Structures are given as structure tokens and as C-alpha cells.
């Protein structure tokens, strides 16, 4: 797939690098320095380049939105027309000091984003794990047992393609249903963050759902 990265920080930088290593065409955009975007592209290999948000979005099949909630309007404005492009969001609707969700229970960041982008299928994915675990999960992708990764959205075709990306990165995709399930997935991430950053063992944490029959 051709994937535009909108926000090339901890999440966008790592996810973009791994998408490129998995064989996708990736354009990194939206950081405070062009040198950083170029360095990320160089390190991600031949499938990656650096560009503006508009360049990242232009020929993309999908864009990954990976910015702080306060930057969403700005990056979308810079990206321009996203009609019919899959919008994958890992962004959480956090307040300025990242201590609380500013949207919840009756809506979610993903649903608010979908309201801003009525012509784009929005899929919520990748936002339920810490960035620190992404490379390790990718390296372990040939193991029989994979960690889970929940995703949700309202467009079946877009969800199929995002499930493929989730698999490419070494996770087992778990379809959580419609986009409104992001109301549950987003606060779940705060639990994951508590375990990752506030308990012993470190932030290289993923999760796995198992069914016992």
C-alpha cells in the first residue's frame, strides 16, 4: 500500500518505518524539522521518503494520523483532500498535559475524526499499544503466538486492508466491530499506559486475548 504518515513522532516514526520494512511505500510528514523526516526516511530504507502532509496524502491509499489531539485540525488542514483514502488513527483525544481523555463515553476521538472526514473511511488501530513495543513485536512476527491488536471501523473494505497492515507488523488483528467501539478502546489504552509506564517491567508491553473452548 501507499501510506502517508501524518505525524512522525514516537508512533508515526516507528509505524512508518515498520510499514516500509514490510514492503509498503511510506511518506513521512509533519514533524518540526525536515531533517528529522529525511533521517527517518533514510533509516526506513528504499520504500520510504520524506514530504509535506499534502505530499504524503496525495497518492496515498491510506494515511496514518499520529499527532497529539491538539494538532489534529492543523495536520488535516495541511494534508488537504482525503476523500476515499483510508484514515487510520492511533491518536487519542487527550488534554494538553496528557492526563485525561477530553472525549469519552458518548463519543471517541475516532468518531469525532470521522465527523470531520465524512468522505473517508476511518479505522481506529495501533493506538492501544505503547510505541516502545512495536519493533520487538515486528521482530517476533515469525513466532507462532502473536500479541493481539484491536481495531474498529464502519467500512468493511478499509478494515480488511488495515487488518493486513496489523498482521504485517506482527500482531494478530482483533476486529472489535464498529467505530463506536473506539469509546471503549481509547480508555483501555490508558490502562495499558498505566501498566507500561507506571509499573515494574518497562513499557515494552503488548496484550493477548485468548478464547478457551
Give the C-alpha separation, 205 to 199, whole Å.
11
**Cβ distance to ligand NAP smaller for residue 197 or 209:** 197
CB closer to ligand NAP out of 18 and 31: 31
What is residue 209's three-state secondary structure?
A: coil
Phi-psi region for residue 59, left (φ > 0), alpha (ψ -120 to 50) or beta? alpha
Cβ distance 33 to 57 under 8 Å? no
How far apart are CB 205 and ligand NAP at their closest, in Å? 10
Q: Shortest approach of ligand NAP to residue 193 CB, angstroms?
A: 7
Query: For ligand NAP, which is the closer residue by CB, 130 or 153?
Result: 130
Nearest residue (CB) to ligand NAP, 60 versus 126: 126
Minimum CB separation of residue 28 from ligand NAP in Å reads 9
Q: For ligand NAP, which is the closer residue by CB, 92 or 179?
A: 92
Please, what's the b/e burial string for 97-128 (b: 16 or more CB within 10 A of its CB; e: otherwise)? eeeebebbeebbbbbbbbeebeebbbbbbbbb
CA-to-CA distance for 196 and 199, rounded, in angstroms? 6
SS3 label, residue 20: helix
Q: How far is the CB of 56 from ligand NAP (least distance, A)?
A: 12
If the CB atoms of residues 59 and 95 are measured against ligand NAP, the closer one turns out to be: 95
| Least Cβ distance, residue 30 to ligand NAP (angstroms) | 5
Report, in Å, the least distance between residue 197 CB and ligand NAP. 9
Phi, psi of 167 (to 5 degrees): -65, -45
Burial profile 75-86: b = 16 or more Cβ within 10 angstroms, e = fewer: bbebbeebeebb
Fill in the DSSP letter of residue 69. Answer: G
Q: Which stretches of the chain bind ligand NAP, using CB under 6 A?
A: 7-12, 30-33, 36, 66-69, 71, 90-92, 94, 127, 130-131, 189
Residue number of the CB closest to ligand NAP reads: 9
Amino acid at each position: 500500500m501507499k501510506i502517508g504518515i501524518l505525524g512522525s513522532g514516537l508512533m508515526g516514526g516507528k509505524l512508518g518505518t515498520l510499514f516500509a520494512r514490510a514492503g509498503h511505500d511510506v511518506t513521512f510528514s509533519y514533524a518540526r524539522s525536515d531533517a528529522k523526516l529525511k533521517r527517518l526516511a533514510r533509516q526506513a530504507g528504499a520504500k520510504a521518503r520524506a514530504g509535506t502532509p499534502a505530499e504524503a496524502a496525495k497518492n496515498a491509499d491510506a494515511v496514518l494520523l499520529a499527532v497529539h489531539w491538539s494538532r489534529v485540525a492543523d495536520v488535516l488542514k495541511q494534508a488537504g483532500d482525503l476523500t476515499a483514502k483510508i484514515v487510520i488513527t492511533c491518536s487519542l483525544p487527550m488534554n494538553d498535559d496528557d492526563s485525561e481523555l477530553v472525549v469519552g463515553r458518548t463519543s471517541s476521538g475516532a468518531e469525532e475524526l470521522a465527523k470531520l472526514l465524512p468522505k473517508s473511511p476511518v479505522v481506529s488501530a495501533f493506538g492501544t499499544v505503547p510505541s516502545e513495543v512495536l519493533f520487538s513485536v515486528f521482530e517476533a512476527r515469525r513466532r507462532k503466538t502473536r500479541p493481539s491488536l484491536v481495531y474498529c471501523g464502519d467500512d468493511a473494505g478499509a478494515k480488511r486492508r488495515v487488518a493486513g497492515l496489523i498482521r504485517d507488523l506482527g500482531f494478530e488483528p482483533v476486529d472489535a466491530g464498529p467505530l463506536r467501539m473506539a469509546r471503549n478502546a481509547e480508555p483501555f489504552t490508558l490502562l495499558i499506559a498505566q501498566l507500561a509506564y507506571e509499573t515494574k517491567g518497562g513499557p515494552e508491553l503488548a496484550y493477548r486475548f485468548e478464547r478457551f473452548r
